[in-house]
Amino acid sequence: MDHPEERAAELPDSNESPERDRPATRPDPIQRTPGPDLAGLTIAGITRRRVAWILATVVALWIVAVFARQVTDAGAAVDRADRLRGENTGLASLVGELHQELDLVQQQAFIEQQARANGLGGKGEHPFILGPDAPPLTANAPGSAAVRLGAMAPRSAPLDVWLDLLFGPSG
């Protein structure tokens, strides 16, 4: 057990100062003196509150800009999806037309017609081929788009027909 005398010997005397027991320290060559407190100074009217408001405004504007960008990106995505739907509809109709054309070219009548065009007709048939120096057909030649079987020809007044015969076409 501890004896009270030993504890008393360990305690420093109240007359002795603890600073005397410390070794002497050299003074700092660069003496740092506390400067004036700058927290109270405002630079050009900028206070902490104003800086906080400016920072909050910048953050709010940044959030609005990011949100606006997301909205425009979403609108662009919707427009692109609509455009792709329209293209898909057009491609689906093209596929349908190509299936109809495939059905047409697989018919025996079409195959025989193309064979005749290449000189592969029957024994009694004579191939008909235009010569390389043949002039182009006129617009109203038989078989042309202007004179199709069952197409209604535009009717002119009899007086216009006579004037065209006597003086030539008007236009």
- pLDDT tens sequence across 66-94: 999 999 999 999 999 999 999 999 999 99
Mean pLDDT taken over the chain: 78
Q: pLDDT band for position 141 (50/70/90)? A: confident
Rounded CA separation 47/133 (Å): 95
Which CA distances in Å does 83 have to 11, 70, 80, 93, 147?
A: 92, 20, 5, 16, 40
Q: What is the pLDDT of residues 5-55, one digit of tens each?
A: 555 555 555 555 555 555 556 655 666 666 666 566 566 677 888 889 999
Q: Give the residue carrying structure tokens 């008393």.
A: 8
- Amino acid identity, position 126: H
Q: Is the pTM of this model over 0.75?
A: no
For range 140-157, the mean pLDDT: 70
Beta strand segments in the chain, E: none
Backbone torsions φ then ψ of 91, nearest 5 degrees: -70, -35
Token couple for 83: 């455009």
